[in-house]
Each structure stands twice: as C-alpha cells, then as structure tokens.
Amino acid sequence: MPRFAANLTMLYPELDFLDRFEAAANDGFEGVEFFFPYAYRATQLSTRLRDHGLELVFFNATPRAHPDERGIACLPDRKAEFRDGFLRALEYAHVLSCRRLHVMAGIVPPGADLQRLRATFIDNLIWCCAQARAAGRDILIEPINPRDMPGFMLSRQDDAHDILKAVGAANLKVQMDLYHCQIVEGDVAQKLRTYLPTGRIGHLQIAGVPDRHEPDTGELSYGYLFDLIDESGYTGWTGCEYHPRSSARGGTSAGLDWMLAAHARRAASLVSSLASSLASSPASSLTPAPVPTPSPGSPAAY
C-alpha cells in the first residue's frame, strides 16, 4: 500500500498552518509535504515535525516573488535569483531533514524562445543537482496541467523524462501527479507501468479528477491504481494534494474514508495471500514435528 503524505498547504484549511502538523498526525499520516516553508523559521517547522513524529517528504525549492509566480528555473534573466533561492532551500532541507526538493520550471513569458527556456531549465537543473548531491538530496520536477496552471513550461510525462536524460543526474527524478497526468494525457495506469519500473519516479501525488477533491470520486479508480503501484514495487511516498470537499472544521478528517478503505483493502489482500499460501503448502510442512519420548533412565524422564 502506498505511504500517504498529507499536503499541509491544501489539507486542513480551517486550521493555522502550524496546527496542521498535529491534525495530520492525529489522522494517521506519517509524512507531510507543503509548498513553501519560507514564511517560518526552519527551527519552528522542525519542532512541529519532531513533536508529531512526521517526516517532511518535499517542499518547493524557490520562494515566490509574487503570488502568481510558479517557479523561475526556466527564466534566463533570473538565473542568479534562482540559484540564490535554491541554496537557501538546501539550508531549510538540512534543518528539516528533508530529502527532496521540488524545482518548478516556471511560466513561459509571452513571445519567449522556448528552446532558450528549455536550455536554461536544463542548465539550472545540472547545477542544482550537483549542489543537492553534495548535500544528500534529490531534485524533483513535475509536469503540471495547463488548465490549473496556464503557460507552465512542463506538462507531459515523456517530456519530463526527456529532461532527466538531458541532465544526466541520478538524483533528478519526476514528481508524478496522477491528477495532472489524467487531465493532460490520460492512460494513467499504462504510464505507471511504464515509468515506475525505471526508478525515476521520486514522488507520486493524487487527487480526484476533475474537481481535485478526495480521490474517491471522478474519473480515476484509485483502488485499482493503488494495487498497480504495489505490484510495481514502488516504496516512495504518495502525496495527498487535493482540496477537501468540506473546508469546515474537521472536513479533511471526515473525508479520509478513502484512505481507511485503502488500508482495509490492503490488509484483506495480505490475509487472502497468506491463506492461499498456507492452503497450497504441503501438509507435512504444516504438521508439528513429534516430541521425542525420553528413554527410561535418561535425565529428561524425571
């Protein structure tokens, strides 16, 4: 069963951000993720993680200069700003014991040279992968659908994997959001079968399609996809990056029946597998060995 991480930027919206850590732990999450940590001291966040026994799975590597910004890694005139921000992100990652940093490509400016933007993105990724490797971190890039994020430079899974090949760094991986993938391309199950075995998927994310609510309604059969993910051998985290249907107090927790069902489904599968294994085992292997009878006069007879 996938290991689920709560996206604290989107879940528990009725709570102050720092109170969402406790809420996630109370709901059984062992991992969390969020977009930007920079409004808080790293030590504040590390205390919340430690106090509630949570692992920080990833966060975004560069802060926003304004609310509409969606990364700057592909923008040639902001290369120095990107790299300064990335070094700051590495400092946060060290304090927060976070292994993964998400580098967002950015929005394509009107009339921009796409080849130049792509070359800048690749050049920045080569540089930040080297910095991250020295610090023991992985870098993630994510294809995002143009309906939610118009003009974002990266939207397709195959394009993301082509960029991985161009960069050539083992610590660069794809953050595969199944919600975005379904909207842009569909055929999600086949794409999981194609890309998970490569080992180049560093993180998964889920949400219902098309409304981006809990993953229990809509176009995708997540029970089927969770089984497929299990069969692939993927052991990484799966981020719950969706907007709860209810933003009222307790709305996120009330909407987690899908996760309880997923765990129950996995437990039932394990029990069934064990029962089948026992039923097919030779009877001799299930019969306890006889206890030898001590011979008269031996010490064990008294």
Beta strands in the chain (DSSP E): 3-7, 31-33, 55-56, 58-60, 100-102, 138-141, 172-177, 201-206, 237-240
Give me the residues paired with residue 107 across strands: 152
Separation of alpha carbons 46 and 63, rounded Å: 18
Backbone dihedral angles phi then psi of residue 115, each to the nearest 5 degrees: -65, -40
Q: Using DSSP, state whether 102 is helix, strand or coil.
A: strand
Q: Report yes or no: 200 and 161 within 8 Å, Cβ to Cβ.
A: yes
Structure tokens at 164: 């991985």
Separation of alpha carbons 171 and 137, rounded Å: 7
β-strand 3-7 against 237-240: which pairing, if any?
parallel
The active-site residue, picked from 14, 33, 142, 219, is 142
Q: Report yes or no: 193 and 232 within 8 Å, Cβ to Cβ.
A: yes
Q: Specify whether 241 is catalytic.
A: yes
Give me the residues paired with residue 5 across strands: 31, 239
Q: What is the DSSP string of 1-47?
A: -PEEEEETTTS-TTS-GGGHHHHHHHTT--EEE-S--TTS-HHHHHH
Q: Which residues contact 257 (CB under 8 A, 6 or more apart)?
A: 216
What are the catalytic residues?
142, 241
